[in-house]
Structure formats: C-alpha cells, structure tokens
Structure 1
Amino acid sequence: MVRRLEPIHLKSLRDHVHDTLREAIISGRFRTDEKLNERQLAAELGISTTPLKEALRQLETEGLVRTEARRGSYVTFNARQAEEMMLARAALESVMAQQAARHATDAQIALMKTHIEQMRAALQEADIARLIELNEYFHDTIHDASSCEYLRRLQNGQRMYDHAARVTVLADETERVRSFAEHEAIMLAIAERNEDEAERLMREHVMLAGEKHLITVFSYTPAEKRK
C-alpha cells in the first residue's frame, strides 16, 4: 500500500515517513476511519515502529489521524477537509496569479512559456510523471513572479495536498488535455498583464482540479455543485 523507503532518499527518517503517509492519506490510499496497523506499516516501509509513531503524532497534530489509547491510530482525513483545502488553495493561487500578472518580469514570463511548451511535449508523449513535475514548476514560477512571500508560506503548507490532487487528476487523459489548456490560458493572461483574467482563470483551474480529486477519491460532490 505504501512505498518502501530507501536510505539514499531519506531526509530525516521521521519526516520522510510523515510525508509518505501524509500523501497516502490525502490521495485516498487510506480511507476515512481506517485503522493504521503500525507493525504492518513499519514492515512495508522497512523501518522500526519508533519513527512511525513519531510521524503518526505529527499527522495527528495536522488533523489527519487520531490516536486512541490501547486501540491504535485511525485516519480522520475526510472529504470535507479536502474541500476546505481546495477552497484555500483556490484563494491563495488566484491572488498570486493576479499579482504575477502585475509583477512578473519578462524573464519569468519567458520561463512560464517554456514550461508550457515542455508540458505540450509531455502531454503528446503521455509522460504523466514529467507532466506532473512541469505542472508544479509552472505554479512555482507564478508564485515566484507574484512576490507574495506571505502567501507563498501559506501555500507551502498545502504542497502535499496539491501534489496528491495532481496525481489523481492527471491520471485521466481528458483531464490532462483540459488542464494543459487551462495552464496555457493562465500563462497568456499573465503575459498580457490581465490581472482580473489571470485571477479568474487560476481560481477556476484550481476548483475544477480539486472537484475532480474529491469525486475520484471520496465520491463527494462539493456543496457549491449540489445547489
């Protein structure tokens, strides 16, 4: 269920275990209320239970896991939390896109255009891993161009959710094509210094991807869609 850890890849062992479990929870490989078998997880990861327990404590402070005395740890991440993350990301990313349209340098816009051309090639080759990587580079370039240091710090707390959502969404060919078209439109709005359009397009892009993730992982339709 989770990928075995290799020593060459380790940051601190606890942090790596934490990141691995966090991604597995957010991407739906562990379901809401599922009990996490510590001995089994430790064996799958190739570690002792000590760093695993430390990682679970950290996940508990983040609201993703609850630990009950003499009963063990259970996943608490659910569709409502995922929806909140989607809404938070849409708010942050849209403001940064708007600010990027105002503040981006010519070099940063050129870099965004390069990312788009590289995404086009990855899309044509159906290289999903490369497309996910370029997707993250593209958004990072917009964050840099926005000069919004405070918002970037807030956004960094969501990176694991963002990555999990991208993996889910970009696994689907139709979604890959749609996502690429949205990225290209965002880049053009920023290049044209159209702040309102960049903000609107980014908000819609994040919301559509987040809704796809919610439906795929939780079979959950966001409240706005139910109205």
Structure 2
Amino acid sequence: MHERLRRAIVAGRFRDGERLNERHLAEMLGVSTTPVKDAMRRLESEGLVRTEARRGVFVEFSARQALEMALGRAALESVMTHIAANRVTDTDIAEIGRLIEEMAHATQHSALEDLVTLNEAYHGAIHRISGCTYLERRLDGQRMYDHAQRIALLSEPSERGQGFEEHRAVFEALKAHEPALAEQRMRAHIVRSAKAHVRQVFGADAEGLDYDE
C-alpha cells in the first residue's frame, strides 16, 4: 500500500497540494482505511505528504522539491564516485564490468525490471567501493524517490539508451582511475536524469526552475 501510493505521488498521479481522502483511497484500492492510514504516516515521514489539523492530508511533492532532491543526490554521489575512482581494485572493475555487460543486454531487450535492478546494483557497487558509509546514510532518506524515478525514466526507450551510455562513461573513468572525470560524469548523469524526470512528471510546472548545474 505504502509503495503503491509513493510511486503514484512521485509519478505525478497526485499533484502538489492535492488533498488525499483516506476513505476514497481505501475504496479505490479495495482495502480498509487502516493500511491507508499507516501508509500516510510513512509518506509523511518521507516528506511526501503533510497533515493539517482539521483539514486532512495533502500531497507535498513539487517540481522544485523533486529537483532539489536530485541535486542533493548528485552532490553526494559524485563525491563518492571521485573517492571510488581512487580506491577501485581490479576485482571491483571486473564486478562493475559484468554489471555493464548485463545492463547492455537488458537495454537491448527493453527489460525494464532487470534494468532497474542492475541500475541500483551499479550505483550500490560504487557506494561500497567508496567506503563512504556516512554519505551513503545521507542518501537513504531519498532512495524511495530514486527508485520511483528510475522506474518512470527507464520506461522511455530513449532514456534507456542514454542512461546506459552515461553509466558506461562513468565506468570507463573509474577503470582509468580518473577521479575528477568520474565525479563530473556521475554528476552530469544524475542532474540530466533529474531534469528529464521533472519534465516528464510536471510538464509545464517545471518551466522556470533553475536547472544550472
């Protein structure tokens, strides 16, 4: 229940500021109001809804918030990639190389679920190699957004191809032990993906935001 509602919000099916009626949601989803209430509490802890006394529960997910979350991720993960490029071993390179090969196959065959899983394994491997456990914990709070973003973006054929090429480019920089280049490529990949997702979900509402890197 929580995951379904979270994906719906991040995918833009509920708009920023929209009131969520627990009874109507329960009827629509064919459940009692208890799991809906539980889901609302979790969504509020994630910053995706807010509760106003005597008024109800409202969606809190705007184009600006989505972009800010992605820019925060880009800042943290690009630093981790820089550090990983200094620490990466031959064994690590072989591991990520296998992931790249599997991603190429999944991209070619439009295997969306496999791509999402491989995408997360790829980023997770870089996090592990970096050894930056503190920075990784800072990313934990928005993993739900990152996951939902990947599902939405990778459903687009053009995005699958471009995303794969960007992942391969980061891998080449890691393999060459070029930390500055790896950092720059990871940041550019995350920011570009974020812009694409914000436009995909919010359309005209995304116009006018500052997209400068």
**1:189-212 deviation line (CA, Å, top 9, x unaligned):** 011110000000000000000000
- The answer to whether 1:168 aligns with 2:152 is yes
Percent of counterpart pairs with the same letter? 49
- The answer to whether 1:56 aligns with 2:40 is yes
Aligned residues: 210
- The answer to whether 1:218 aligns with 2:205 is no
Residue 79 (structure 1) aligned to one of 63, 86, 91:
63
User: Aligned-pair distance for 1:46?
Assistant: 4.2
Q: 1:189 matched to which residue of 2?
A: 173
**1:18-56 deviation line (CA, Å, top 9, x unaligned):** 333222212212211222121232234443212322331
Q: 1:40 matched to which residue of 2?
A: 24
User: Aligned-pair distance for 1:64?
Assistant: 1.7
Amino acid at match of 1:106: D
Q: 1:104 matched to which residue of 2?
A: 88
Gapped runs of 5+ residues in structure 1? 1-16
TM-score, length of structure 2 as denominator length: 0.91
Residue 11 (structure 2) aligned to one of 23, 27, 34:
27
SS at the partner of 1:66?
Answer: strand
Q: 2:97 matched to which residue of 1?
A: 113
Q: RMSD in angstroms over aligned alpha carbons?
A: 1.8
- How many Å separate the matches in 2 of 1:68 and 1:157? 23
Q: 2:137 matched to which residue of 1?
A: 153
Residue 184 (structure 2) aligned to one of 172, 177, 200:
200
Q: 1:180 matched to which residue of 2?
A: 164
Residue pair 2:195, 2:211 contacting (<8 A) in 1 also: no
Q: 1:131 matched to which residue of 2?
A: 115
**1:84-110 deviation line (CA, Å, top 9, x unaligned):** 101101011101111110112222211
- How many Å separate the matches in 1 of 2:28 and 2:88? 45
Residue pair 2:69, 2:142 contacting (<8 A) in 1 also: yes
Amino acid at match of 2:40: L
- How many Å separate the matches in 2 of 1:76 and 1:117? 39
SS at the partner of 1:223?
Answer: coil
TM-score, length of structure 1 as denominator length: 0.86
SS at the partner of 2:211?
Answer: helix
Gapped runs of 5+ residues in structure 2? none
SS at the partner of 1:224?
Answer: coil
Q: 1:14 matched to which residue of 2?
A: none
Amino acid at match of 1:195: P
